[in-house]
C-alpha cells in the first residue's frame, strides 16, 4: 500500500474528515495519513483505542513515536495521559492498550536503526517563555531530525525554513499557511525546500512539528 508516498509534494490532510479503518485487533481503528507497506509499514496515523481494547505484544523493529491526543494510553511501562510524547526506538517491545480509551498520533519505521534512546515527556512541561506570542519546547534532536512542540497566542506568526522537510500536526486551535486553514487534527507535510509561514487563529494553536526527516524517508527493511 502507498498513501501520500511522494515526499517531494506538499500534503494537507484533515484527519477528522477521514473514515476510521479497522486494524487487525478489535477495538483499535486507524486514520492513515501516509503509508508505505501493508501491516509492516513506514506509517503515520491517528489511532483510536476503544475502552478496554489492546494490541498484542510486539517488538518495534523500526521504532515508534507517538503523542497521546486524548484519554490515557497504557502498556507495561506505565500510563501515558493526554499531552505525552513517547519515543520507543528499534528493538523495544510492549503490549499497548487503554482501559479508559485513547487516541494517539503515531509514526512507525522512521527511526535511525541504531537509535536506542527511549523516553517519555509531557510536552507542555518543556515549554520555554513565549517570544512574540510563540512558546516552544524541543522534545528531541539528533543528526536526522528535530521534534518540537509549539504553543501560539492568537494571531502569532510561526515561520520555519528547515532543510529536509517539515511535518506538522495540529493538536488544538487553528492556523493558516498560505491558502490552507489547519484545524485540530489537520496534518501538513512540506517537502525539502518549502517553508512554513503560518499565523495562529483567534483561539491560538498547539502544534507538534518534526523537521529534517524527509531526507531519510523510505520503505521498511523487512
The pLDDT > 70 percentage for the chain reads 99
Asked if domains 18-111 and 122-216 share a fold, the reply is yes
The domain segmentation of the chain, as residue ranges, is 18-111, 122-216
Q: What is the pLDDT averaged over residues 185-196?
A: 97
Q: Report d(CA 189, CA 177) in Å as an integer.
A: 12
Question: pLDDT tens digits, residue range 27-55?
Answer: 999 999 999 988 788 999 999 999 999 98
What pLDDT is stored for residue 19 in this prediction?
96
* pLDDT reading at 89 higher than 90: yes
What pLDDT is stored for residue 217 in this prediction?
81
Does the domain made of 122-216 have the CATH classification 2.60.120.10? yes
What pLDDT is stored for residue 218 in this prediction?
76
CATH number of 18-111: 2.60.120.10
Q: What is the pLDDT averaged over residues 86-110?
A: 95
Residue 51, number of CB atoms within 10 A of its CB: 11
What pLDDT is stored for residue 221 in this prediction?
65
Question: pLDDT tens digits, residue range 109-125?
Answer: 998 889 999 999 999 99
More confident residue, 111 or 211: 211
- What pTM, to 2 d.p., does this model score? 0.95
Amino acid at each position: 500500500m502507498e498513501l501520500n508516498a511522494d515526499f517531494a509534494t506538499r500534503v494537507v490532510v484533515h484527519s477528522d474528515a477521514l473514515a476510521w479503518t479497522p486494524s487487525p485487533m478489535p477495538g483499535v481503528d486507524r486514520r492513515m495519513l501516509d503509508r508505505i507497506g501493508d501491516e509492516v509499514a513506514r506509517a503515520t496515523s491517528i489511532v483510536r483505542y476503544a475502552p478496554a481494547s489492546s494490541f498484542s505484544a510486539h517488538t518495534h523493529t523500526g521504532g515508534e513515536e507517538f503523542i497521546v491526543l486524548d484519554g490515557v494510553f497504557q502498556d507495561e511501562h506505565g500510563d501515558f495521559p493526554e499531552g505525552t510524547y513517547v519515543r520507543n526506538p528499534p528493538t523495544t517491545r510492549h503490549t499497548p492498550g487503554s482501559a479508559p480509551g485513547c487516541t494517539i498520533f503515531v509514526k512507525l519505521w522512521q527511526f535511525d536503526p541504531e537509535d536506542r534512546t527511549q523516553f517519555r515527556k509531557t510536552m507542555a512541561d518543556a515549554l520555554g517563555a513565549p517570544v512574540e506570542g510563540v512558546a516552544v519546547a524541543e522534545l528531541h534532536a539528533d543528526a536526522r531530525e528535530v521534534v518540537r512542540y509549539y504553543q501560539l497566542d492568537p494571531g502569532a506568526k510561526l515561520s520555519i525554513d528547515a532543510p529536509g522537510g517539515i511535518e506538522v500536526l495540529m493538536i488544538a486551535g487553528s492556523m493558516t499557511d498560505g491558502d490552507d486553514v489547519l484545524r485540530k487534527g489537520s496534518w501538513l507535510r512540506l517537502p525539502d525546500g518549502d517553508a512554513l509561514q503560518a499565523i495562529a487563529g483567534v483561539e491560538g494553536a498547539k502544534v507538534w512539528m518534526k523537521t529534517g526527516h524527509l531526507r531519510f524517508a523510505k520503505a521498511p527493511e523487512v
